[in-house]
Structure 1
Amino acid sequence: MKAEIVATGTEILLGQTLNTSAHYLTGQLSELGIEVDYHTTVGDNRERLEQVLEQAINRSELVLTTGGTGPTVDDMTKELVAKVLGLKLQLDPGSLERIQHFFSSRGSVMPKTEEKEAYFPEGSIILKNDYGTAPGAIIRHKGKMVVILPGPPAEMTPMFEQFVLPILVRFVANDTKRMYSRVVKIFGLGESEIEEALQDLMGNDQLGMTLLAKHSEMHVRLVVREKNEQEAKVLLDKTERIIRERLKAGVFGTDNETMLGIVNGLLKSQQKMISTAESCTGGLLGAMLTQEPGSSEFYLGGVVSYSNSLKEKFLGVNPQTLRTYGAVSPETACEMAVGVKERTGSDLAVGITGIAGPGGGNDEKPVGLVYIGLATPEGVQASKFQFHGQRESIRQLSVKAALDLVRQFMLKVERSTL
């Protein structure tokens, strides 16, 4: 089933209101295996709204609209859906009674204009609104399904979950093929590298593959259409194995897995304690490690050693190292990691030093240069990174890179014990 979401409201086009409904509905439909091909936003203009609705209903089997169900002259969604489908608008007495009760229960009389909210295209399934006055509707007509929902998310979301979702669940259960998807998450590789490695897998009739650039990650979204989940799983599993073989350690997780969650899980399962020494990240790594409950099981604590004097006094970085190689160097990163590991008695330790910008860089050490030291029972080693972007972006990327180094080491330890 192909779906389309049409959001109405000039306030959305002006940027005064964020269209969170499209994001929410797309997620709900995707979980059902319903593919959303189009998002359209249109202002409160009769001619343009009619054109958009006609186009949507002609090209999609399922159309969900949000907004334009109220009592004012610029609320035209139901009227124009009826016109496009060639249906009459009819008064629903039950809806009118509920709207009247809404006002009377608040000690007021229903304005005459509110009566407009009780009219629907003939044959509609009426969806009552428990959080406002404007009901919604579902219209099945000539192989098409149009779902009309109110605009405010506080009204739209419960109406969708209570009335629309159960109908769609039953509907897709009878569909011959459903859409199943999986997201493979990657860190440390660029879009062009990934595309080159996976090029032969793209454009497959059986499998849809899309590269999605996130802030600090790349996601490969896999989509298949199969009769049942088991058949889909076979193809998705096979494709994921190929991706992991080709991209190796670049792949860190799938779907709802996060880098932080994976690292936390590995530290807990292997009963290892970690500590941190941070300069350019200013404690962001420590803050991230303690985001989730239970972090005391694996995180001992950390030192934010922004100045050279604190690197020397609190972490034991050799003054000669700082004079010879500088604060931003692999040598300093290693000594920071070793220093905090020794002082806390942790199993692992991370040392981060770099130039987050916007100033402080030069030709030899440009903005975005970061060294991350990882001290383990096997020794200490520093990795070099050259990040790009604004100050906060560089800091966040540094933290993600540090977590990835810990992840890769923990996985190596895990494999060696098997």
Structure 2
Amino acid sequence: MTWYAMDGRQTKLRTKDDRSSCELEKNMVSFILFLQGELMRAEVISIGDELTSGQRLDTNSQWISQRLADLGIRTLFHTTVADDLESNRVAFDTACRRAEVIVATGGLGPTADDLTRESLAGMLGVDLVLDEPSLVHIQQRFVKRSRPMPESNRIQAMFPAGTEPIYNPHGTAPGILGRQHSGTFYCLPGVPVEMREMWEATVEPSLIQLLGNQRRIIRHRRIKCFGVGESDLELMLPDLIRRGREPSVGITVSQATITLRITAVGKDDQQCFQAMKPTEETIRQCLKNVVFGEEDDELHHVVDRLLRKTGRRFASLEQGTRGLIAGWFAQLDETADTVPLSLVMQDPTSLARLGIDQQTDLTNSQAVMRLAILMQQQLGVDFAAVVGRLTRPLGTDDGICPCAIVGPGEQESFEARLIGHPEVVRPRIAKQVLNRVRLLLLKP
């Protein structure tokens, strides 16, 4: 066996004759997919009881899927499997039948519950064999730590016959590269820092070689929307979210913010983004001011930019939203002159600090509007917003929260409904306030 790595000091790359039949088969799969206009398909497997039991969050799969997309490989499946030999064997066999690229993390340690080697050997129908260079590397790792190598670590130098080690420069768990059915599999340690280093040094170059001249890339663009429901927004778009459309448009919702994700495939960034441009233009034309931003934008980012651009000032006073608006703005640049004045009403004495009657009924829309006008005048700001008190506990659909916004020559009030999951209600109310401030700032 030889190290499968890009480090010349550690690597003896296979000769052309050694790899000719394997490379021919790989290239044939890639070429067939290219002729069919399809992207190479991938499956990401995460291994460990700590993942299936929910004790630990799997961040490796997200990172790997993003890297695969950068190479133009579409991840169709995420599989999480416990430390069970037969379950691992079935997971790998299934993946190798339905995907061309399989990337797995975990199960390469020296303990009895690290079963990736045995499960691969079972799938391939071969024995585990010792790789001397791997064993020497592991032994050297312990020498550097001035510790004797436990006999249990010897298993980390054992590989299913016919597979190849993937060099791990800073750990004792080499990866495993092999092939079964239509799939090429890369097994990496679950430790993120080791996994990522091995990806960049070995897996990514290998995949680029596997893709050859047929390589394409996947790029995404996110358009942020607020102010209508998900179903209503889809009806406003001319058949953009149908399946099979190119470029594709996906829709997701998080705390009342709707994200439209445009996805294109091309030979380079320019081709991808050029293909997205007409779709983005159509979205903006159809949705108009429902679109408030793009990529990582949130409503408070957009309001902050508009305040800076116009040189105007904004103040908010919150009760029902418990300081959400204040918290969002607190994350922004506090050195700017446009930083909003944010007050949170924890108790009636908060009103007294502004010279306002502590008995003010914050469930009354007219009283909330009078308070917003008073804030604008006393604080000398251009825009002031007040979020009143919830009339009913969260989770009661018949409750409301009165809100008011005043600006130069403008006064708006509305009663936010307490409909939906309690975790979403307050963020939605805060965003409704900020969205109305945004629309006021956009007026000529």
- Deviation, 1:170, is 6.2
The residue identity in structure 2 corresponding to 1:148 is C
- Give the Cα–Cα distance (whole angstroms) in 2 for the partners of residues 174 and 345 of structure 1: 63
Structure-2 residue corresponding to 1:284: 324
Instruction: Answer whether contact 2:314 2:384 (CA < 8 A) is retained.
Output: yes
Structure-1 residue corresponding to 2:138: 99
Structure-2 residue corresponding to 1:385: 416
- For residues 360 and 215 of structure 1, do their structure 2 counterparts lie closer, same or farther at Cα, with a shift above 3 Å needed? closer
- Give the Cα–Cα distance (whole angstroms) in 2 for the partners of residues 312 and 246 of structure 1: 47
Of 371, 377, 385 in structure 2, the residue corresponding to residue 342 of structure 1 is 377
Structure 1 range deviating more: 223-232 or 275-284? 223-232
Of 415, 426, 443 in structure 2, the residue corresponding to residue 395 of structure 1 is 426
- Deviation, 1:172, is 5.7
- Give the Cα–Cα distance (whole angstroms) in 2 for the partners of residues 355 and 119 of structure 1: 64
Structure-1 residue corresponding to 2:231: 192
Task: Output one character per residue of 1:105-125: Cα deviation in whole Å (capped at 9) or x when no partner.
Answer: 333221112111122343525
Give runs of aligned pairs for residues 70-81 of structure 1, distance below 5 A: 70-81=109-120
- For residues 332 and 62 of structure 1, do their structure 2 counterparts lie closer, same or farther at Cα, with a shift above 3 Å needed? farther
- Deviation, 1:199, is 6.1
Determine if the alignment matches structure 1 residue 330 to structure 2 residue 365.
yes
Determine if the alignment matches structure 1 residue 30 to structure 2 residue 69.
yes
TM-score for both structures, normalised by structure 2: 0.80
- Give the Cα–Cα distance (whole angstroms) in 2 for the partners of residues 380 and 280 of structure 1: 20
Of 214, 231, 254 in structure 2, the residue corresponding to residue 214 of structure 1 is 254
The residue identity in structure 2 corresponding to 1:304 is V
- Give the Cα–Cα distance (whole angstroms) in 2 for the partners of residues 247 and 238 of structure 1: 14
Secondary structure of 1:120 counterpart: strand
Of 404, 425, 431 in structure 2, the residue corresponding to residue 373 of structure 1 is 404
Give runs of aligned pairs for residues 153-302 of structure 1, distance below 5 A: 153-168=192-207, 174-198=213-237, 200-201=239-240, 202-294=242-334, 296-302=336-342
Task: Output one character per residue of 1:301-326: Cα deviation in whole Å (capped at 9) or x when no partner.
Answer: 2333455675477264797xx5xxx5
- Give the Cα–Cα distance (whole angstroms) in 1 for the partners of residues 287 and 68 of structure 2: 30
- Give the Cα–Cα distance (whole angstroms) in 2 for the partners of residues 45 and 69 of structure 1: 13
Task: Output one character per residue of 1:113-155: Cα deviation in whole Å (capped at 9) or x when no partner.
Answer: 211112234352523141x321223446786432211123343
Task: Output one character per residue of 1:218-274: Cα deviation in whole Å (capped at 9) or x when no partner.
Answer: 222222223333332233121122222222222222222222222222222222221
- Give the Cα–Cα distance (whole angstroms) in 2 for the partners of residues 176 and 103 of structure 1: 41
Determine if the alignment matches structure 1 residue 404 to structure 2 residue 435.
yes
- For residues 41 and 391 of structure 1, do their structure 2 counterparts lie closer, same or farther at Cα, with a shift above 3 Å needed? closer
- For residues 28 and 331 of structure 1, do their structure 2 counterparts lie closer, same or farther at Cα, with a shift above 3 Å needed? farther
- Give the Cα–Cα distance (whole angstroms) in 2 for the partners of residues 97 and 370 of structure 1: 69
Task: Output one character per residue of 1:34-73: Cα deviation in whole Å (capped at 9) or x when no partner.
Answer: 3211101111222221111111111111111011111223
- Deviation, 1:5, is 0.5
- Give the Cα–Cα distance (whole angstroms) in 2 for the partners of residues 91 and 360 of structure 1: 61
The residue identity in structure 2 corresponding to 1:281 is T
Structure-1 residue corresponding to 2:86: 47
- Give the Cα–Cα distance (whole angstroms) in 1 for the partners of residues 206 and 409 of structure 2: 58
Instruction: Answer whether contact 1:315 1:340 (CA < 8 A) is retained.
Output: no
Structure 1 range deviating more: 79-88 or 42-51? 79-88
- Give the Cα–Cα distance (whole angstroms) in 2 for the partners of residues 311 and 375 of structure 1: 18
- Give the Cα–Cα distance (whole angstroms) in 1 for the partners of residues 391 and 105 of structure 2: 43
State the identity as a percent: 29
- For residues 331 and 313 of structure 1, do their structure 2 counterparts lie closer, same or farther at Cα, with a shift above 3 Å needed? farther
Secondary structure of 1:394 counterpart: helix
The unaligned stretches of length 5 or more in structure 2 are 1-39
- Give the Cα–Cα distance (whole angstroms) in 2 for the partners of residues 283 and 54 of structure 1: 52
The residue identity in structure 1 corresponding to 2:104 is T
- For residues 148 and 203 of structure 1, do their structure 2 counterparts lie closer, same or farther at Cα, with a shift above 3 Å needed? same
- For residues 279 and 58 of structure 1, do their structure 2 counterparts lie closer, same or farther at Cα, with a shift above 3 Å needed? same
- For residues 159 and 383 of structure 1, do their structure 2 counterparts lie closer, same or farther at Cα, with a shift above 3 Å needed? farther
- For residues 359 and 81 of structure 1, do their structure 2 counterparts lie closer, same or farther at Cα, with a shift above 3 Å needed? closer
The residue identity in structure 1 corresponding to 2:148 is V
TM-score for both structures, normalised by structure 1: 0.85
Instruction: Answer whether contact 2:166 2:202 (CA < 8 A) is retained.
Output: no
Structure-2 residue corresponding to 1:303: 343
Instruction: Answer whether contact 1:317 1:339 (CA < 8 A) is retained.
Output: no
- For residues 333 and 2 of structure 1, do their structure 2 counterparts lie closer, same or farther at Cα, with a shift above 3 Å needed? farther
Structure-2 residue corresponding to 1:68: 107
Secondary structure of 2:332 counterpart: coil
Instruction: Answer whether contact 2:124 2:180 (CA < 8 A) is retained.
Output: yes
- Deviation, 1:17, is 2.0
Secondary structure of 2:110 counterpart: coil
- For residues 207 and 118 of structure 1, do their structure 2 counterparts lie closer, same or farther at Cα, with a shift above 3 Å needed? same
Instruction: Answer whether contact 1:129 1:136 (CA < 8 A) is retained.
Output: no
The residue identity in structure 1 corresponding to 2:363 is V
The residue identity in structure 2 corresponding to 1:230 is Q
- For residues 408 and 315 of structure 1, do their structure 2 counterparts lie closer, same or farther at Cα, with a shift above 3 Å needed? farther
Structure-2 residue corresponding to 1:3: 42
- For residues 317 and 372 of structure 1, do their structure 2 counterparts lie closer, same or farther at Cα, with a shift above 3 Å needed? farther
RMSD: 3.0
